[in-house]
Structure 1
Amino acid sequence: MKLLLLAGTGEARRLAQALAQVPGLEVTASLSGATRAPMALPVPTRSGGFGGEEAQKDYMQSNGIEAVVDATHPFAHRISARTAALCSELGLPYVQLLRPAWQPELGDTWVQVASGQDAPAHIPPGARVFLAVGRQTLTEFESLTQCHLICRQIDPPDAPFPFPNGEFRVGRPPFSIEDEEALFRKLRIDWLAVKNAGGEASKTKLVAARNLGLPVLMLARPPQPDGAKVETVEDALTWVQEQMT
C-alpha cells in the first residue's frame, strides 16, 4: 500500500520510524518546508508543500496514494482541511493524528483567547512578552505596541523583527524546564504567549511559567477537519495496518 504521511511533528517522526518497518508498505513523508534544516526522516521525503489544492490532488493521483495519515501540527489547519476534503473526494482513507490539547493545571494562570489580536485586552503596557508562537503567527501581536516582544524561532531570521518593539531569539528544541526557567529569568519575562499545540516535548515552557508564577496567554486551536482521529502514534500505526488488511 502507498501511504502519504503529512509530517512535521515529533509524532510524525516516531510514526515514520514505525512505518518504515512494516512489510508491504510504501511510505512517502511530506514536509511543508517551514524549517530550513529539518532532521531526516527514515522514509522517502518530499518538502515544500504541494502548491495548492489541484497540485496536491494531482500528486496524490499520479503517485498512486492509497491512504493518508495527517500528523501535522494542530495549527496547520489549512493543509489538514484540504487533505481531508481531497481524501473524501477521491475515496481515500484518511486519519488525523492529533495530540490532545493542553489543559490548565493547579498553579497555572492562563488566559485563553482565539487569537493574538486579543492580547491587548489582557497583557498590560510595559510587559515583556515571550512569544512562543512561531513567526507565521507573529503579525497577530502587532497591536502590543507598548510591550517588549521576544519571539523564539528555530531558524535565524532572514529579515528584521517586523515591529520596532521586538526582537527574535533563535533556539532549537528540545528545551528542558530548567532551561526555560533560566531563559525567562534572564529576559525578565512578564507574560508567555503560546499556541495550544499539546504534547509533552513542548510543555516544558508551561511548567516553567507555572514555577515562576508567570501568566500565560493561550491561543486556542483552530477548527479541525471532520474525519477519523487518533491521539497516539500507536493508534495511528494500528489504523495503517487495518487499511492494509
Structure 2
Amino acid sequence: MNILILGGTAEARDLAERLVALGHAVTTSLAGRTQAPLLPPGAVRIGGFGGVAGLAAALRAGAVDWLVDATHPYAGQISLNAVAASRETGVPLLRILRPAWTPADGANWTHVETTSEAAACLPPGARVLLTTGHAGLEQFLERRDCQFVVRLIETPAMAIPAHARLLQSRPPYGLADEIALMDGERITHLVTKNSGGGQTAAKLDAAMRLGVKVIMIARPVYGPAIEVDSVDAAVTRLSEAG
C-alpha cells in the first residue's frame, strides 16, 4: 500500500520502519520546525501542505491508500486538516493517539482546558517547570510574579525574560534526572500537556515524590478517525486493510 504518515514523533518513526520492512511505500511528512530531526525510513517530505486543500491534493496526487496521523497529541491544525482532507478525498484516516496520563493516588493535579487557564491559575511566587512547548509560551511568561524553567527542544522565537531560564534538551527523561532538576530549581509547580507515553512521564513521578503541584492541560478533540493507541495496533489495522 501507499501510506502517508504525518510524523514528528517516536511512534511515527517506529511505524515507518515497520511498514517499510513489510514492503509498503511509506512517506513521512515532517512540519520542519525541528532542527536536525530524527528521520524515519522511507521517503520524507518536509514542510506544510498549504491547508486542507494542499493536503487533499497531495493525497490524490500520490494515490495514497491510507493517511496516518502519528503527530503529537497537541499537534493542532495539521490533525484538524487531516480529518477534513480524509473526508474530502475518501482516503481513510488512521490516528495513533497514545493513552493519556492519569493521576496516581495521592498526586496533586489541577486539570485545565487551555494554556491561558493554566497560566492564570499559577499562584504568585510559584517556581514553575514549564513543559508545554512553544505554543502559548508568552501567556506564561507574562506572569512576572512567577519564576520559570522553560524546557524546550528548540530555541523559542521569543526572547526569554529575566524571570525565566531556558533549558534545551530532548527526551527521554529519567526519574533521577527529573527529581534532581525539580529539587535543584526548587520547583513548586509543573505545567504540562497530557501527551501520554513513556518518554516524558518521569516528570509526573518526580512531581509526586517531591510534592510538586501539577497543572495538566487537556487534550484537544480533532474529530472522527479510525483510532488506535499504539504502533502495534496501527500495524495490525493497516495489515488487515491491505
Q: Scaled by the length of structure 2, what TM-score is found? A: 0.94
Structure 1 segment 102-181 matched on structure 2, within 5 A: 102-119=101-118, 121-157=120-156, 159-161=158-160, 163-181=161-179
The C-alpha deviation readout for 1:113-155, integer Å capped at 9, x for no partner, is 0112123553211111110011123133244231012211112
Tell me the secondary structure at the aligned position of residue 209 of structure 2: helix
Which residue of 195, 198, 201 corresponds with 2:196?
198
- For 1:243 and 1:33, the matched residues in 2 are separated by 30
Q: Which residue type is aligned with residue 183 of structure 1?
A: L
Question: What letter matches 1:97 in structure 2?
Answer: I
State how far apart, in whole Å, the 1-side matches of 2:175 and 2:191 are.
Answer: 16
1:20 corresponds to: 20
For the residues of structure 2 that align with 1:140 and 1:219, how far apart are their CA atoms?
A: 14
Q: How many residue pairs get matched?
A: 242
Q: For 1:40 and 1:120, how far apart are their aligned partners in 2?
A: 34
Q: CA separation in 2, counterparts of 1:39 and 1:130?
A: 26
Deviation string 1:22-81 (CA, Å, 9 cap, x unpaired) is: 12x100001112211111211211112212222222222212212111111111132112
Which residue number corresponds to residue 49 of structure 1? 48
Q: Look up the match of 2:80.
A: 81
SS of the equivalent of 2:55 reads helix
Distance 1:156 1:140, change over 3 A: closer
- Are the equivalent residues in 2 in contact too, given 1:135–1:151 (CA < 8 A)? no
Aligned to 1:232: 230
Q: 1:174 Cα deviation (Å)?
A: 1.2
- 1:242 and 1:135 map into 2 onto residues whose CA distance is 38
Instruction: Return the alpha-carbon distance in structure 1 between the equivalents of residues 156 and 93 of structure 2.
Output: 35
Query: Hey, what's the Cα distance between the residues in 2 that align with 1:122 and 1:143?
Result: 13
Which residue of structure 2 lines up, in the alignment, with residue 215 of structure 1? 213
- Which position in structure 1 is the counterpart of 2:10? 10
- Sequence identity of aligned pairs in percent? 39
CA shift in 2, pair 1:30/1:78, >3 Å: same
Which residue identity lines up with residue 165 of structure 2 in the other structure?
E
Query: What stretches of structure 1 move > 4 A for 4+ residues in a row?
Result: none
Unaligned runs of 5+ in 2: none
Gaps of 5+ in 1: none
> What is the match of residue 98 of structure 1?
97
Task: Work out whether residues 132 and 195 of structure 1, in 8 Å CA contact, stay in contact via their aligned partners in 2.
Answer: yes
Contact 2:52–2:84 at 8 Å: present in 1 too? no
TM-score, length of structure 1 as denominator length:
0.93
